[in-house]
């Protein structure tokens, strides 16, 4: 630094021999130039490309998990072009929705979409996305946020029904009683029921109903609700229905039932016999003959679970990797003529079973 400053010494000597006015002007210009050179040496200028590189993400290794509200639902997004997602075979989105935990398996095609929707039920939710590359390696990111969902109002007890009798004084049509029944199966659901009330007896050739305000009657299920009328009391029949409630989170994905192409998949535990998925199944084959002919061998590369009803659930790529770990033990057991019984936890997606664990 001292040597660089001393390089200007001859210039200063020459300036000292000039007249006074020129000395001031030249000294000022030399000082400005010296300051500019010193500034450029200490802080070199940065190009626009360097600023762009600094603003760009440091690497493509981040899943970049994000959650955005969209009405009553939440849009869960991730970067499908990131390295963990691009190299992953499958993934699992775990949502801690208040006291309830929901696990949504994601196959390769769902990972490529980069998003999925979730309907929260509590005011706080935590999301964790795990991307599986093989049986031993995975990447994950997690975040938590307030969903804005208000606490639900207390539901009517399951053994009571509220019946509201509606009357229109200007109409000759008989009044209608609308009843709603609640049943609890881990949640409250409402069902609308209607029943006709018998019209009043005719007086003077005309039908007349006494005007009254619509009452609300509470009665136990399976009994008739008394009506506040002077004439024949109405009878209310509450039809019983054993049909399951429709819900994307509790619908059973039974073997043979077409699975949903996208959206929420449900984890279940299936129990059966591990067989070779590449083995052709004859039209009418006994269970023992089929399991013996399609037992696991050293050449087996694709695995499947044969259920008690004969349905075949083929493993996905991650499931085959998990099965490879137990292949040696299974081959020894199959050589001894024993069936390979196992419990597999996963979700059905198309013709494949997205495997989470094998017991």
The average pLDDT across 226-252 equals 44
CB atoms within 10 A of CB 312: 18
Q: Are 102 and 117 in contact (CB under 8 A)?
A: no
> Would you say residue 57 lies in a domain?
no
Q: Same structural domain for residues 312 and 248?
A: no
Give mean pLDDT, residues 214-219: 44
Give the pLDDT band (50/70/90) at residue 63: confident
Q: Is the pLDDT of residue 228 over 60?
A: no
Cα–Cα separations (whole angstroms), residue 325 to 136, 204, 269, 338: 11, 89, 20, 19
Q: CA 342, CA 228: separation in Å to the nearest integer?
A: 62
Comparison of pLDDT for 349 and 56, the residue scoring more: 349
In a domain, 211, yes or no: yes
Q: Are residues 136 and 183 in the same domain?
A: no
Q: Is 26 helix (H, G, I), strand (E, B) or coil?
A: helix
Q: Sign (positive/negative) of CA torsion 44, 46, 50, 55?
A: positive
Of 302, 275, 297, 270, the closest CA to residue 288 belongs to: 275
Q: Is the pLDDT of residue 15 over 60?
A: no
Cα R_g (the chain), whole angstroms:
38
Q: How confident is the prediction for the chain on average, in pLDDT?
A: 67
Do 273 and 253 sit in the same domain of this protein?
no
Element (H, E) at 180: strand 176-184
Q: Is residue 49 part of a domain?
A: no
Query: pLDDT tens, 24-43?
Result: 676 777 777 777 777 666 66
Beta bridge partners of 193: 179
Give a yes or no: residue 47 inside a domain. no
Alpha carbons 144 and 94: distance in angstroms, whole number = 12
State the average pLDDT over residues 96-125: 88
Q: Classify the C-alpha dihedral 47-51-54-56 as positive or negative.
A: negative
Position 11 confidence tier, pLDDT thresholds 50, 70, 90: low
For the chain, percent of residues with pLDDT exceeding 90: 3
In a domain, 329, yes or no: yes
- Give 244's DSSP letter: P
Instruction: Note the pLDDT of residue 95.
Output: 92
**Domain contains 53:** no
| 230 and 272 share one domain | no
DSSP code string of 254-312: -TTSPPPSSS----EEEEEEEEETTS---SS--HHHHHHHT---TT--SEEEE-TTS-E
Mean per-residue pLDDT, 330-359: 84
* Contact present, 188 and 182 (Cβ < 8 Å): yes
Q: What is the pLDDT of residues 149-166, one digit of tens each?
A: 776 544 444 444 444 444
Last residue of a domain, one of 241, 261, 281: 261
Position 266 scores a pLDDT of: 75
Domain assignment of residue 101, yes or no? yes
pTM for the model stands at 0.32
pLDDT band at residue 121 using 50, 70 and 90 as cut-offs: confident
Q: Do residues 73 and 110 share a domain?
A: yes
What total of structural domains would you count in the chain? 4
Q: What tens digit of pLDDT does each residue of 268-315 get?
A: 888 988 888 887 655 455 566 666 778 888 888 888 888 888 888 888
Range of the domain at 288: 268-358
93 and 181, same domain (yes or no): no
Residue 55: pLDDT above 80? Answer: no
Q: Is residue 186 part of a domain?
A: yes
Which of the residue ranges 30-34, 105-109, 305-309, 354-358 would you say has the lowest mean pLDDT?
Answer: 30-34
- Considering Cα of 105, then 108, then 114, then 115, what sign does the dihedral take? negative
296 and 344 co-located in one domain: yes
**CA-CA distance, 192 to 180, in Å (whole number)?**
5
Burial status of residue 7 (CB atoms within 10 A of its CB: 0-12, 13-18, 19 or more): exposed
Contact 110, 262 (CB under 8 A): yes
Average pLDDT score over residue span 313-326: 85
Give residue 278's pLDDT. 82
The tokens for 155 are 């539901």
CB atoms within 10 A of CB 271: 12
Q: Which pLDDT belongs to residue 31?
A: 76
Rounded distance, CA 19 to CA 26, Å? 11
Take residue 333 and report the two structure tokens written for it: 């057991």
Single out the residue of 357, 330, 354 nearest to residue 344, CA to CA. Answer: 357
327: pLDDT strictly greater than 70 = yes
Specify whether the CB–CB gap between 352 and 314 falls below 8 A.
yes
Q: Which of 104, 119, 146 is the last residue of a domain?
A: 146
Q: Do residue 292 and residue 249 come from a single domain?
A: no
Tell me the CATH number at 330. Answer: 2.40.50
% helix / strand / coil in the chain, to the nearest 5? 20, 30, 45
243-252: average pLDDT: 40
């Amino acid at each position: 630094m001292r040597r660089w400053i001393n390089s200007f010494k001859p210039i200063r000597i020459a300036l000292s021999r000039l007249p006074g006015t020129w000395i001031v002007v030249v000294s000022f210009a030399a000082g400005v130039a010296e300051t500019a050179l010193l500034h450029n040496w200490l802080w070199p200028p940065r190009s626009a490309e360097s600023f762009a590189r600094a603003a760009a993400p440091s690497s493509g290794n981040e899943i970049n998990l994000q959650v955005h509200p969209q009405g009553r639902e939440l849009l869960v997004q991730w970067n499908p072009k990131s390295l963990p997602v691009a190299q992953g075979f499958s993934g699992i989105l775990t949502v801690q929705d208040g006291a309830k935990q929901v696990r949504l398996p994601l196959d390769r095609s769902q990972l490529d979409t980069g998003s999925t929707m979730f309907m929260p039920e509590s005011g706080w939710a935590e999301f964790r996305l795990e991307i599986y590359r093989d049986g031993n390696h995975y990447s994950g990111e997690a975040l938590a946020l307030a969903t804005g969902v208000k606490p639900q109002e207390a539901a009517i007890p399951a053994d009571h029904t509220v019946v509201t009798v509606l009357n229109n004084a200007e109409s000759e049509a008989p009044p209608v009683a609308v009843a709603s029944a609640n049943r609890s199966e881990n949640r409250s659901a409402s069902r609308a029921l209607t029943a006709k009330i018998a019209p009043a007896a005719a007086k003077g050739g005309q039908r007349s109903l006494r005007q009254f305000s619509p009452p609300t009657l509470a009665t136990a299920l399976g009994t008739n609700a008394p009506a506040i009328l002077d004439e024949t009391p109405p009878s209310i029949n509450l039809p019983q229905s054993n049909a399951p409630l429709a819900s994307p989170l509790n619908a059973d994905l039974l073997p043979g039932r077409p699975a949903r192409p996208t959206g929420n998949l449900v984890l279940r535990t299936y129990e059966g016999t591990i067989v070779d998925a590449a083995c052709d199944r004859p039209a009418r084959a006994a269970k023992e003959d089929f399991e013996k002919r399609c037992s696991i061998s050293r050449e087996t590369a694709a695995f499947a679970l044969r259920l008690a009803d004969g349905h075949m659930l083929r493993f996905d790529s991650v499931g085959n990797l998990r099965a490879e770990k137990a292949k040696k033990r299974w081959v020894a057991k199959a050589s001894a003529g024993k069936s390979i019984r196992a419990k597999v936890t996963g979700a059905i997606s198309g013709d494949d079973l997205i495997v989470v664990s094998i017991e």
